[in-house]
Amino acid sequence: MREAPRLHSPPVAEERRRLVGQITTVLEASSVVQDPNSRQLLLQELRHALGGALDYREVGVLRLQLIALVTACMDRAGGLRCLAECLELFEPEGKQTVALLRLADDWQAYELLSDYDVAWLRGELSTLDTTPDLRQFVAEIRATPAPPWCETAWELFAHLTSANAHGEVPSWLVLLDRLAPAVTQASLPRLRQLCRQLATDWGVADQLDAAQPSAAAPTRSAYLVIQFEKYGGDDDTYIMSHWYQWASPEWQPIRGEDRHVAYEELEAAVDRVVNEAERRWATRAGAVTIEFVLPWQLINEPVDTWRKELQSALPSPLTTEYPLVIRSLERNRASHWHRLWRSRWQLVSDRPAERKLIHCAAQLHADVQLEAILKRESAVAVLVLSETPTADSIGERQLLVGLRSGVPAIVWHRDPPSKKDLCQTVASMVDGRASDTGVTALPNHVAHLRQLAWSEDPEGLHKHIGHGFVMLFDDPDRQPGGADSADGDRRKVLA
């Protein structure tokens, strides 16, 4: 049975006619729609996506047929967005696809707010550009980056209306409230009134202020994660993958292109990726953390001594600019270790203050004995190895036990000072606190220690403890390749 068309107020009905015409014109210009065979494939995909055929009459004149199709999609909840996403399959990032996505968002906004006079709002917000700060704000309130084609505040607002949910403050309403100071003085009272009315009608009037991210909230770090993986049977070549994400509360990184890199070229390849990331983030302001996901063969590689801008007259150590830690590729891949890893990570910020945070491994404690100690002291978040984890050493066995036991932070030194000095240094960073600022801020404390080393002992002559200080720091909620890092969909590898 055909779904009855919904009735709309005159202003919304007027917008509907406008959008039907604009969407039809966009579809007419699409090469997929112009070709009869491709058009049939598009319609077939649309039927699958909607779970059934749309009830509309096919006619011989293309424009008339498209008007009927667009009208039917508008009468089906989510139908127009579905049409746009189906076209995206055939023309990803194409001009017509982007235009259709914008128009589908337009319709969603007008339909959602059909009981309110918002025609003026589109004209007002269309004059405001989407700034990097506004994009970051949206990423924080929605935990999902806005698409690049949202170039104005209206397009950003309309896009967020597709994520409407009752029972909580809608992200589009939080954005609208945030935009109030940016509109013209003449429109400000009208926008304030609209926000109050919407908050009341949605039942979130007492929650709207709390939904705004606090200006006093700690600044989140952006991340550049670089992973090395041995390439087949070639002992000298690695697959270098990388992911990047600007500061956001939810981990949804973008994956870059993979590269085949010879061992002696690893530092130079990292330099290129770092420079690419910096160019990408040229309009941003904020901190960036670099993480190296290393396989067992490279776990003691001195990545903290690697430099950037190698082609310049004065290359500089990465550690003078970035918090830098290493991570374990094996732990990322070993899903049977992840339960203990997540359980111990959760205790990092949810723990009585009297519990022990750090365990300094004794010289002969490895294997079962160390594992039993760590299982008994379930709140230990930092393991300090008794020696460097070189091949077939006690340190290597301690490292394996720490990874297997789920300890998120493991510390050692490549040129060990006394064990007492190393443990005291780590303890001073954690400061005996059971809050997340004690453990999760360790990468920043280590960065400060290394910067002191470079400023006070740039040649390493005085054996400053910051030189050769290694921290493996693994957050289970930020696994670069997902659980098990099942990278079967690996992108094209660059030579």
Residue 220 lies in a domain: no
Both 263 and 162 in one domain: the answer is no
DSSP-assigned letters across all residues of 168-181: S--HHHHHHHHHGG
Domain boundary among 88, 112, 136: 112
- Res 404 pLDDT > 90: yes
- Res 389 pLDDT > 60: yes
What pLDDT sits at residue 427? Answer: 86
- 221: pLDDT confidence band, cut at 50, 70 and 90? confident
C-alpha separations of 220 from 104, 227, 254, 393 in Å: 33, 22, 17, 37
Both 355 and 451 in one domain: the answer is yes
Between β-strands 288-294 and 307-308, what pairing exists: parallel, antiparallel or unpaired? unpaired
- 285: pLDDT confidence band, cut at 50, 70 and 90? confident
Cβ 451 vs Cβ 318: under 8 Å:
no
What is the DSSP code (8-state) at residue 98? H
pLDDT digits (tens, 9 = 90+) for 133-148: 777 777 666 656 678 7
pLDDT top residue among 316 and 131: 316
From the number of C-beta atoms within 10 Å of its C-beta (0-12, 13-18, 19+), residue 162 rates as middle
Both 202 and 244 in one domain: the answer is no
Q: Which residues pair with 292 in a beta bridge?
A: 226, 326
Domain boundary among 176, 211, 246: 211
Average pLDDT rounded to a whole number, residues 9-33: 85
Residue 495 lies in a domain: no
Count the Cβ atoms, other than its own, within 10 Å of residue 154.
Answer: 23
pLDDT digits (tens, 9 = 90+) for 312-356: 999 999 999 999 999 999 999 999 999 999 999 887 765 545 457
pLDDT digits (tens, 9 = 90+) for 463-484: 788 999 999 999 998 888 754 3
pLDDT digits (tens, 9 = 90+) for 64-88: 989 999 998 888 888 888 999 899 8
Strands (E), 183-287: 222-230, 237-245, 254-255, 258-262
Residue 247 lies in a domain: yes
What pLDDT sits at residue 495? Answer: 46
> What's the domain count of the chain?
3
What pLDDT sits at residue 211? Answer: 57
Count the Cβ atoms, other than its own, within 10 Å of residue 293.
Answer: 26
pLDDT digits (tens, 9 = 90+) for 410-453: 999 988 766 668 888 888 887 644 344 568 888 988 998 998 88
Both 159 and 236 in one domain: the answer is no
Both 309 and 285 in one domain: the answer is yes
Residue 297 lies in a domain: yes
Give me the percent of the chain exceeding a pLDDT of 90: 35
- Identify the domain containing residue 102 by its residue range: 10-112
What pLDDT sits at residue 378? Answer: 82
